[in-house]
Amino acid sequence: MNTTSPTGYVDRQGGQPTSQSLGVTASQITRVQFDYNRAATLSVGLVAPSGSVIPTGTYGIFMTVANSNLAVGYKSYRQSATGSGTTRTITPLFPYASGYQVWAGDCADADPAFYSGGSRGGRPGQQPGGDHHRQRRPGRGGRDRPQDHHHRRPDQRRHRQRQPRRRHRLYLGGDAHHLHDHLERPTPPGPAVWHLDHQCHQRRQDRDGHRHPRPGLDRCPGTDRGGPVTARPRDPGQAGITMVEMAVVVALLGLILTMAFQGLVAYQRAAAGADTRQDNLAQARTVMAVLTKDLRTATEFSAMSATDVTFTGLLNTAATAPANQLHLYVDTNGVLREAVTTPDDPNASPLTYTGTPTTRVVGQGLVSTSGLLSFRDGSDAVTTSLTAVTSVVVTVSVDLPSRSGADVPPTVLTSRVFVPNVAASASEA
């Protein structure tokens, strides 16, 4: 809340001190503009009609001033603010150049313009800090009923036909002295409900006391006045957007959504690719473990190639049991299988292996199998001699199908297995 209170000054609504509400933002300076002027004063003399007195009770009689620049078009002052004598002082007032219309009372039926043919009278101008005098006659709204010929232009014709009056209830609330507002009262022709969202929603009648159209109504006609409606300036709070602005927003939104979608797709592909590489690595480790374990127990090779090797080995046997025959091979689908055949007669010499082998799948997804097994001699040269093999270089390359369709390179593992039992068997022979 920002407040300024220079002595003797008021804002446009007659407020003292002048204040405005504003928000506070860190590291920012907020500026507000105050619109105020030196206060003006109206001195109004009250003259009671013959046989009447001016009310001087607890509430006495209110004084009401009207100007279209006020928030609701008018403002009432209590007796405690204006005094209880015949001369009432109304202050503080903002010194509008158009002046104020003033009447006694604050009820709806106290307004002289409330009645057909009634008039609020002229508007005395104010100067900052000045006093102005005006005589008003209290009574039923202090209305003056002028003669028709005083308020008719020569080009106007007198209409004797009167419009029917509509009746409705008004409830204004307030103190006990306002209870008479609950009663039904006649209303002048015109809309019973004002359109508050309309630019001309301030409280005023269609015509002044002279039955002339008020200035400005031709520029802003009401909903029941008829006639052509002209365009009025658009309020800042009611600003819209153009088709070009809408097209730009839609284009930018489409670009942002496209980029976000592409990023999401790339992330999904990367995640699926990482899962495929993990599967390839796990499969390659399993194949490598079985191949190295089986080849390390070899005692004699009977057939060997890069994708197919047959040998006897001390695998899954007791300490004194004879060797089993192992057959490791890769089929055309990249599946590595292990076939184990036990000897026909463990006590026979030489051992024969004509029985049905036990076969199991070791791994799958093998590619580039032409380099799976490489047999080396003592000089680390590639050999095809069954008795000259001293080590085997195993190269496992696994490429499983990707679940996301992403192009993931094969996983390759390489190891060397020494076969000392083969060299020992060859030297004994």
Each residue of 266-321: pLDDT tens digit? 888 888 888 888 999 999 999 999 999 999 999 899 999 999 999 999 887 776 78
Residue 234 lies in a domain: no
Residue 74's pLDDT is 86
Give yes or no: residues 281 and 398 share one domain.
Answer: yes
**72-81, 93-102, 166-175, 343-352: segment of lowest average pLDDT:** 166-175
Residue 290's pLDDT is 94
* Coil vs helix vs strand at 258: helix
Mean pLDDT of 415-425: 85
Most confidently modeled range among 87-96, 135-144, 354-363: 354-363
Residue 47's pLDDT is 83
Tokens of 166: 């509509």
Give yes or no: residues 350 and 202 share one domain.
Answer: no
Residue 145's pLDDT is 46
Give yes or no: residues 218 and 349 share one domain.
Answer: no
Residue 77 lies in a domain: yes
In whole angstroms, give the CA distance from residue 183 to residue 364.
98
pLDDT(328) > 90: yes
Give yes or no: residues 201 and 309 share one domain.
Answer: no
Whether omega for the bond prior to residue 191 falls within 30 degrees of 0, making it cis, is no
Give yes or no: residues 183 and 287 share one domain.
Answer: no
pLDDT(136) > 70: no
pLDDT(338) > 90: yes
Residue 183 lies in a domain: yes
Single residue among 228, 246, 265 that ends a domain in this structure: 228
Give yes or no: residues 211 and 320 share one domain.
Answer: no
* Coil vs helix vs strand at 365: coil
Residue 78 lies in a domain: yes
Tell me how crowded residue 307 is: count the other CB atoms within 10 A of its CB.
16
Give yes or no: residues 198 and 55 share one domain.
Answer: yes
Q: What is the DSSP string of 261-294?
A: HHHHHHHHHHHHHHHHHHHHHHHHHHHHHHHHHH
Residue 264 lies in a domain: no
Output the CA–CA distances (angstroms, integers) from residue 354 to 187, 309, 319, 324, 340, in the order listed: 122, 17, 23, 12, 11
pLDDT bucket at 398, cuts 50 / 70 / 90: very high
Whether omega for the bond prior to residue 49 falls within 30 degrees of 0, making it cis, is no
Give yes or no: residues 185 and 309 share one domain.
Answer: no
pLDDT bucket at 96, cuts 50 / 70 / 90: confident
* Coil vs helix vs strand at 408: coil
Domain count, the chain: 2
Mean pLDDT of 326-344: 93
pLDDT bucket at 229, cuts 50 / 70 / 90: low
Q: What is the residue range of 327's domain?
A: 276-428
In whole angstroms, give the CA distance from residue 46 to residue 61.
10
Residue 267 lies in a domain: no
The answer to whether 126 and 132 have CB atoms below 8 angstroms apart is: yes
Give yes or no: residues 80 and 177 share one domain.
Answer: yes
Residue 397's pLDDT is 94
Residue 404's pLDDT is 67
Residue 309's pLDDT is 94
Q: Is the dihedral of CA 379, 382, 383, 387 positive or negative?
A: positive
Give yes or no: residues 74 and 201 share one domain.
Answer: yes
